[in-house]
Amino acid sequence: MNSSLQIGICGLGTVGYGSYTVLVENAKEIARRAGCDLVVSHIGTRRIKAHQEVGEVRVSQDVFAVADDPDIDIVLELIGGEELAKELVLKAISNGKHVVTANKALIAVHGNEIFAAAKKNNVVVAYEAAVAGGIPIIKAIREGLAANQLQWLAGIINGTGNFILTEMQEKGSEFSAVLKQAQELGYAEADPSFDVEGIDAAHKLTILASIAFGIPLQFDKAYTEGIGDITIEDIHYSEELGYRIKHLGIARQSEQGIELRVHPTLVSKDKLIASVNGVMNAVMVQGNAVGSTMYYGPGAGALPTASAVIADVIDVARVFNCPESSVPALGFQTDSLSDKPVLPITEIESGYYLRISAQDKAGVLADITEILGDFGINIEAVIQKEPHHHDTDQVLSVIILTHEIKEAVMNEAIVKIEELDAVGGKVSRIRMDKL
């Protein structure tokens, strides 16, 4: 048994310094769990900030010096980004070092190559912190639910988007105003596209789907749709109908294939996940043995994310002392991964919320419902709002909830509705999911 293992930290930003802090402050408890002392002996960072205290630890400006340090046993990749991080991780692996990362883009896009290299070099790449921050969702799915055939999972896995939708719902503010507020509070970047367009969530969903269903990582096949077109009217009408709008990542497997999609979703208010607000994250998982489970907590932040990083470090330390205890990277044996296809969004079936602006003329609603009927689309509920003046016409909003129908069929029906003379502009469409 090793008396101590040497840790190298690459990147001393929010998560990097948080991880260093947790390792130092909780050193005794961590050693009891790991079976040995975990000592930070090398840090790679461009500069040490004024508030950061790292004692006598060796510091290099070149992160590759950490990956090449012969004394380092475990490398923590916490620099972010894709290409440099990929190069760093592959270098560490080729040097026979175990790797812990919090980098969801790295795993979602390059994970297949990285895990293959790790297996070839007989090392572990751990990535719990890459999804949902401090929530141990990777371990829950990969290990805790390993006895189940998992049927679907759905999650609020981007705190920025959830904060924006919560503020819109609770305060009646428009999207642009809340986005500016999120940037001022530090929840959103100057370029918020990764968060509000669903790319960040799609990275995380790609990872979750792989460990849930035993498929290779396939980020390029994930469907993403952002929240920028959601209006206050949509939020109010949804609430009136008993639903809330959440920006969900949904993965579901069927005989036809795998659904892998991120988009605004109407969720019934009686579902627990509908009440997850602010910057918090939550993931629901449905298994054939356990039924439905939900995991809730902070999806970001220095110490919550560091909690997940160091949990992985402890797992790697246990592998040092008991090599046969290693868990496969994606939870399934490499030669058992499924080739089940990821379905295009046009093939998925969903209920729909439609908001249609139409002139206040006799027969308009009948024309709309006739088109839906012609396409075999059943209606669950209809709201027709009082008309309001729009230039010279009286314009009313028609809100329709439909039963489940294939998206390709709904697309055709929407085209026909938009061709009606009395309908103005595009039909607003939000998918529904009964979870």
Cα dihedral sign, 225-228-231-236: positive
Cα–Cα distance measured from residue 46 to residue 63, given in angstroms and rounded to the nearest whole number: 8
Tens-digit pLDDT profile for residues 125-153: 999 999 998 999 999 999 999 999 999 99
Look up the CATH number of domain 137-298. Answer: 3.30.360.10
b/e per residue 92-104 (b: at least 16 CB within 10 A): bbeeebbbbbbbb
The single-letter DSSP state of residue 423 is B
**Mean pLDDT, rounded, of the chain:** 93
Tens-digit pLDDT profile for residues 152-197: 999 999 999 999 999 999 999 999 999 999 999 888 888 899 999 9
Indicate the domain borders of the chain: 4-134+302-334, 137-298, 348-432
Catalytic residue among 86, 104, 204, 271: 204
Pick the CATH number of 348-432 from 3.30.70.260, 3.90.180.10, 3.40.190.10, 2.60.40.10: 3.30.70.260
Burial label, 353 (beta-carbon count in 10 A; 0-12, 13-18, 19+): buried
Supply φ then ψ for residue 296, to 5 degrees. -135, 145
Tens-digit pLDDT profile for residues 372-386: 999 999 999 999 877
Give the mean model confidence (pLDDT) for residues 102-127: 96
Tens-digit pLDDT profile for residues 217-226: 999 999 999 9
Give the mean model confidence (pLDDT) for residues 357-377: 93
Domain 4-134+302-334: top CATH class? alpha beta
**Catalytic residue check, 204:** yes
User: Which tokens go with 403?
Assistant: 């039963």
